[in-house]
Chain A
Amino acid sequence: MSGNKKDIWDMLSDIPREVLYGILIVVFVIPMIYPLGLPVPISDNVRRWYNHIESMPAGSVVMIDFGYSGGGEPELGPMAVAVYNHLFEKGMKVVAMSTSIEGPQLWDKAMAEIRPERFGAQYGVDYINIGYIAGTETAMAAVGKDLRATTSTDYKGTSLSQYPIMEGITDATSFDLLIVYTTGGDQSEGWVRQWYTVYGTPYLCSVLAMMIPTMLPYQNAGQIVAVTSGAMAGQMELLVGVPARGIKSADVITLTHLLVFAYVVIGNVALLAKKAQGGGK
């Protein structure tokens, strides 16, 4: 290397971000347009989640928290849809609520994708949404203690007493399972404190992939049955037998991860080559 002239190793150790981003877009778009059908393994946590629902009898009552925001929908939405398919297929009674203010809109979006009528499920009979309840952890505690005292209407403003599904549902002890989809640590950890610890309600939790390390201690301590990330939605879709957005994104995840691996290898080879030439820091 002489003067300001860059050799090949200099260029490879400092690839402009425009190039990195450009290649990433191409690698991202191709499998979206032409799905490759790459293999998808079923992880232990997804299988544990699936088996837990499988082991429950039809008619069990499930509470679901749509605690994610619009930004998290592309990751958590497909998982929510796949699990709802499973619950409806098993004939569960599902009560949804939201600790995120955007929850009711995202629940509507999920329902449009699921189409509960395919399973013969009726709103108010087999499933319901009691809407957004402010206060995050306070809301969880209040709903667990006395649901009717916390909210008397569903998300459309209709009295809960008009819906057959709400007969006999009073507090956390009325539920056989708690499922939470969330982009927030307050929600995912709050449900452990306010429902599992107090009432022992079995708890399944789906969070953003980057939140998994925070939630693993709860799973390893037995406080959560299974923690999954939304990125595992493809695995759930395979188990449930309803391939959709999740399985499509599995190809994208594989290719983009391999690309990042290639970038890291290139960066390190260039660094080591520069060191060998005596120019590396």
Chain B
Amino acid sequence: MSSTLKKTIPVLIVSIVAILVMMDYFLAAPPTDAAGKSWTSGVVKDLQNWGIILTAFALGFGAVNLFYFHSKHISRRTPDQWMFSLWLLIVIVIFTAIGVYMGPTSTTYNWLYNSSYFALSATVYSSLGFYMTSGLYRALRLKNIDSGIFLVVGLIALLRNAPAVAVWFPILIPWEKFIADVITTSAQRGIMIGGALGAISLGIRTMTGRETGFLGKLTEEERGGRAA
């Protein structure tokens, strides 16, 4: 009974939903309406909207979970942590209060976002430029043939992407185009096709109940194996 509730029914739901969504994406299964839309269209539309509602709910649930997790740090006075947890909760409360009472499109909310989170996140992201500079200086060294190829390709891409240099040395443009369109694209396509095949096999395993990670922690018996 527990295996039916915990595994069979959820896997059945996932399989039916997945088949419906795939049918709607790839086929126009009859019967169709006057506009040529399949019967699956309306069903999948509802499913997608449920998905959006569930995702939005998960965002709220994540905030609650964050509160629970960091409250424990504050109450336990975890060294080197509790003050950051307290600060995080204060920020959440301020943003939530202003967002709820004044609206997330209000001038006050926008000011708060622009002068705190936006400025900080842009700064943190921009600081990557420093690490990348130092990293390139140390990594692009001619130590052997492999690193030599890496060095040459890296320098061509680097110089081509400097706007004025591409004007001064236009020969860089076809070189970089060859690297991007032939070498990079062919390698990237291989990676993408590999990833897609992996996603297909994961999907089939999930629909047939062989992949149970999304069901949470199950016992061996619930997974379909033998009881210990």
Which residues of chain A have a CB within 8 Å of any CB of chain B?
15, 17, 20-21, 24, 38-41, 69-74, 101-102, 104-106, 108-109, 133-136, 138-139, 141-142, 145-146, 149-150, 155-157, 198, 209, 212-214, 216-217, 220, 231, 234-235, 250-251, 253-254, 256-261, 263-264, 266-268, 271-272, 281
B184 in contact with A71 (CB, 8 Å): no
Complex alpha-carbon distance, A169 and B22, angstroms? 25
Name the segment of B5-13, B127-135, B219-227 touching the other chain: B127-135
A-B contacts besides A141-B48, A150-B49, A209-B161, 14 pairs, CB < 8 Å: A21-B134, A38-B163, A38-B164, A40-B164, A41-B167, A71-B122, A102-B117, A135-B52, A139-B52, A145-B44, A149-B45, A213-B184, A264-B154, A267-B138
CB distance from A101 to the nearest CB of B (A): 8
B142 in contact with A217 (CB, 8 Å): no
A261 in contact with B155 (CB, 8 Å): yes
Q: A105-B110, A260-B136 are in contact. Are A271 and B163 (CB under 8 A)?
A: no
* Set of chain B residues within 8 Å of A142, measured between Cβ atoms: 45, 48-49, 51-52
CB distance from A253 to the nearest CB of B (A): 6
A267 in contact with B137 (CB, 8 Å): yes
CB distance from B128 to the nearest CB of A (A): 9
* Set of chain A residues within 8 Å of B185, measured between Cβ atoms: 213, 216-217, 220
**CB closest residue in chain B, given A136:** B55
**CB closest residue in chain B, given A193:** B25
Complex alpha-carbon distance, A231 and B166, angstroms? 14
Complex alpha-carbon distance, A250 and B165, angstroms? 11
Instruction: Identify 17 residue pairs between A and B in the complex whose beta-carbon atoms are under 8 Å apart, listed by A's number.
Output: A17-B130, A20-B133, A39-B167, A41-B167, A70-B120, A71-B125, A105-B118, A109-B114, A136-B55, A138-B51, A155-B105, A209-B161, A251-B164, A260-B137, A261-B155, A268-B140, A271-B142
Tell me whether B75 is interfacial, beta carbon within 8 Å: no
A40 in contact with B133 (CB, 8 Å): no
A105 in contact with B25 (CB, 8 Å): no
B165 in contact with A254 (CB, 8 Å): yes
B52 in contact with A104 (CB, 8 Å): no
CB distance from B192 to the nearest CB of A (A): 6
CB distance from B29 to the nearest CB of A (A): 15
Tell me whether B80 is interfacial, beta carbon within 8 Å: no
* Set of chain B residues within 8 Å of A17, measured between Cβ atoms: 130, 134
CB distance from A168 to the nearest CB of B (A): 15
* Set of chain B residues within 8 Å of A272, measured between Cβ atoms: 142
Complex alpha-carbon distance, A234 and B163, angstroms? 9
B184 in contact with A70 (CB, 8 Å): no
Interface majority SS on A: helix, strand, loop or mixed? helix
Q: A39-B167, A70-B121 are in contact. Are A149 and B49 (CB under 8 A)?
A: yes
**CB closest residue in chain B, given A194:** B25
Contact check: which of A72, A106, A261, A268 meets B158 at CB < 8 Å?
A261
Tell me whether B180 is interfacial, beta carbon within 8 Å: yes
B163 in contact with A263 (CB, 8 Å): no
Q: A267-B138, A272-B142 are in contact. Are A260 and B133 (CB under 8 A)?
A: yes
Complex alpha-carbon distance, A260 and B48, angstroms? 47
* Set of chain B residues within 8 Å of A40, measured between Cβ atoms: 163-164, 167
Q: A134-B59, A145-B45 are in contact. Are A216 and B142 (CB under 8 A)?
A: no
A138 in contact with B48 (CB, 8 Å): yes
**CB closest residue in chain B, given A235:** B163
- 6 tightest Cβ-Cβ pairs between the two chains A and B: A71-B125, A257-B162, A38-B164, A142-B48, A70-B121, A134-B55
Contact check: which of A254, A257, A264 meets B140 at CB < 8 Å?
A264
Q: Per-position contact with A for B143-164: 1 when CB-CB < 8 Å, else 0?
A: 1000000010011001101111
Complex alpha-carbon distance, A213 and B187, angstroms? 10
Tell me whether B104 is interfacial, beta carbon within 8 Å: yes
CB distance from A275 to the nearest CB of B (A): 9
Tell me whether B102 is interfacial, beta carbon within 8 Å: no
**CB closest residue in chain B, given A15:** B137
* Set of chain B residues within 8 Å of A108, measured between Cβ atoms: 105, 110
**CB closest residue in chain A, given B190:** A217
* Set of chain B residues within 8 Å of A15, measured between Cβ atoms: 137
A213 in contact with B188 (CB, 8 Å): yes
B163 in contact with A253 (CB, 8 Å): yes
**CB closest residue in chain B, given A71:** B125
* Set of chain A residues within 8 Å of B125, measured between Cβ atoms: 71-72, 74
Tell me whether B61 is interfacial, beta carbon within 8 Å: no
A268 in contact with B151 (CB, 8 Å): yes
Tell me whether B113 is interfacial, beta carbon within 8 Å: yes
Contact check: which of A101, A217, A251 meets B192 at CB < 8 Å?
A217
A220 in contact with B181 (CB, 8 Å): yes
